[in-house]
Chain A
Amino acid sequence: MQYVAAKTADEAVALLVGQSGMARVLAGGTDLLVQLKSGMVEPDLVVDIKRIPGMKDITAEAGGFRIGAAVSGAELGEHAGVCAMWPGVVEGFNLIGSTQVQGRATMAGNLCNASPAGDAVPSLVAADATARVHGPNGARDVAILGIPAGPGRTTLAKGEIITSIFLPARPARASDAYLRFIPRTEMDIAVASAGVSLVLAADGTVESARVALGAVAPTVLLAEEAAKAITGTRLEEDALARMAAACAAICKPIDDKRGTVEFRTKTAGVLAKRAARIAYDRAGAKK
């Protein structure tokens, strides 16, 4: 196995394109190193992208924030601007692993690991964030929803890497939230999860909403009907019930050691309701 710490995104892309065998990208390594140790993957080439300039930067851009692909959970969690604007994105990302893992883990890595249960992903989808992809043909911006292709698979082509994630600007009365269900309180993988992003109108009704569900289908789901069910409401009980039902209607989970189809389907709706309430309270509390 060859290990290379690329100095530029172009170098990383060239290395990946030039490798005929198995190549893997290393950012935080919190998934890759575990896979290497357990023998799940035996790559011929590992390209470390952490040392590429800009990869560890969080920069203000167009009223929002651009987050480098090697920014860790601990670093994002300490960024006051991102925490104030996108608390749901930060709380989802910060749920991954332990304190130690948070020192290494990255959002881009969580996205590219492509687990249906990735905790960073639903909030990014709800936030309508985009990933900047560098490849042999230059850079392009891709909606987060367009990255995962299935468990462990992405839509990225050979040689393509994510270099940053962009969180867009927010109106004043807006916020988001993320909740997952795990049988424990930490150190676990989501059995079902929900990220909700809301913008409130001046009268306190929901002006627009985005709802995303994790761990209930091969890839993260954007629950558009669920969002419609609460748009124009103040999250009254019947609106939340319609939202939960709309969530349940699109779930396509599996039965496995972590949960049943029935349990995941039901819980996804419960989490979406609860996350919506939290996002609503956060948005309403803003002046």
Chain B
Amino acid sequence: MTPRTPLEARTAWRAVSDRDRSDGLAVAVLASYTADPLLPYLGIALHDAGLPSHHLVGPIDQIMRQCLDDSARTAAFRPDVLVVSPRFEELADNPQWTNDLLDLADAAAATVDRWAGALVFVLPATPRRTFGAGEAAEAARARQAVRERLTGLPNVLLADLDEPVRALGEGAAHHPTMFALARVPYTEQLFSLLGTRLARLVLTRLGAACRAVVVDGAALGAAGAAALRPAVRGWHEGGTRLAVLAAGDPGELWGRLAADCPELVAHSELTVHDGGEHPAVALGLPPASVAVVTTDPARHQRHGGVLLGERPELWETELLDTALFDRPPPARQRRTERAPRPLVAVPESVALDDFVASLDVEVTFAPGTDHLAAVAETVSRAKDFTLGNDRTADQLAGHGGELVAVSVRDRFGDHGVSGAVAVTWADGYGTVEVFSLSCPVLGRRVEDAVLTELRRRGAEHGCPGLVFRLTETRHNSVARTFLRDAAAQHTGIHVLTWDQPAPAPARAENGPAVDLGIVAFGAALPEPSEVAEHAPTYTDELDRVNGWGYRRFHRAPEGVGLTDLAVEAGERALADAGVDPAEVDLVVLAIADLAEYLYWDPAAATQARLGARNAEALLVNQACGGGVAAFDLVAGKFAVHPEYHTAVVIGANRVVDPYWNRMAMNTSVYSDGAAAAVVRRDHGTCRWLVTEVLTDGEYADFMRMEVGAGARPFLAGEADQPVVGNPQDRLDAFFAGDVRRMFAFVSMIRERGREVVDRACARAGVSRSDLRKVLHFNDNMRQLADLAKDLGVPLADTNIETALDHGHVGCADQLLALRRLTAAGELSPGDLVALTSTSSGMHWICTLVRV
């Protein structure tokens, strides 16, 4: 056959690609550039060789991500053959080429192993741009390293892009205009050569097999037809298509065959009249995959295939010597039966999260009007990640809302303005009509960063909801999938077409009575001590203490009192917030233990020492729940004092060791310390939504020390040092040894813990499933596991790490945990967090904040 020109190849491919689309070999191409022009040449070459195929080109420059992500488009396509073609130009700058290319090669090889396919790795061509000697050498080193790494691996084939580039010459191989236009770096001639070479490689691995047998019925006598019966049965059972070639009256032919070879009558798809054209045409298959079995030398001359000898009794043997019983690659069957093996099966491969983290992606935002041309260019060119709403530069400039330019840098370089968002804030929602990202920055979690930024800005605008107005296009499934996943994960995100009605105006949940949020945190924690090391000095029940899981606790030095810790935490929070103490309107101190003195107000003392001379001071003594309940009190004070704008909430704890054995008096290891939060009216982050408190005074006597207060004052000279009893003794005494009542008490504690959270959620108009984190008091590991189970949240989404690292710091626990998560960036704008406590009294308390 005369080689096709590129235009002829594309035209021929268009004619066959529809027919081959859902059958045959599944070929996926992952490249760092736009590789779509490769398909016609690869596809038609495979087709001509008798191997029909259909194709997927993965997202541009996402080779690693597509390889690692078994939920990505390429994995879903289940390719039989994966073609991977990186270019040096898209890799990070020298000298990392060797490592980067080896990483890609390793990931691709591991991927085809997982997917049970074959890999064709295309060694990148030596870059065209002018490089120094060192860089050229690095390119050669990288190519050689990959060649050595992949050579000999099962199911891995190597192609070399340098060969067609050299064959054509640099000038004829590269297409700068197309690269500028659509990141197509090469000419059609280059793609044509590459496609043909790749097809040849694939054929060496998978070969072409007979897909149909056309039996020349006209040339068969009765004995011949009968002799073919076993072969016909074999072809049919093997899935080979069958047809009969007829020269005369087909009715007469079928009559003869019905008597002599009924299998052929039963299994043939059609009768092909021998009109000179190859019978493959009638079957819609390439000639190379169709064998004409005949005894007529003239027909054999015309159509090829198998020429049977004169003795029918030998035909079975003759046919066995042909390739007609070889099966084609079981591509379709494998695709439906096999499932990708989990990623963990390939420990040597880079994990997706690690890969993305290694990119050092930096996303920045700027007013879109400052970069209007670049924004308009990005919007017009984005095809995969776009809402599908075309907007011209003029329309973007005249957009009434906020236009945002998204710029991206990573270790591969500065991508510049690579995305754009147009959003209008109203009625509690940000309505987004443009959210476009250019293909080269996809797969780097830029879309997540943009969504987080939108939610943060929404919180600032008092718009907790986001509405994405979408027009479905043939190409924007990436954006649609991302947004629908986001809507499933976060409340308040709606993905709507333009004809769907807008959601009801969103007030932040049910709307708190007073708008206030946390501006900054502060903490004061004495030097930590190891629980394991110090436990023997507190208790003999070491197994019990060890079972709680605490790693460290904090013990204040002699002479450091509760208000010392409270003042230190408060000062740090005020400094971090940049608030002058004189601006503070309210100081709330929550304590669970005793302060330094009796007949003394530690809240007032703290106010004075903070220098908050204009503030009202409020002491909260609601045991360990005081730090959580304090928000309700701040809201109440703010409601009735419109002039109040700033409050400092402090939870502090200082164990009075003579009365309270910090490792034996309860089921926690108690710590000394304090945490503070500066709270401001109308502040948009960590917004207080609601506080719910359940109190059951029936249990007020459960946690008390008998001596020392008004009922039985200490008397000087008493022989026995008064202490709080241990929990078992207190249970026995309180429930008079009634085990069933004790059990009911413990069950009730857990049940009410869940109830208070549900009540808070109901008041706020959210559900428990919306909670991103539940930050309880720093209870022991087992109790927190029970709490997580009761609330249906993962243990990791509680304060477990804070608890085990710090011990139970009285009413400072929840603020410490919230401070830790905020500082670590583990919370995103819009996340819903529950601060909960169960405390003596008894109280069950839940405060909800929206980050």
Chains A and B form a bound pair: no
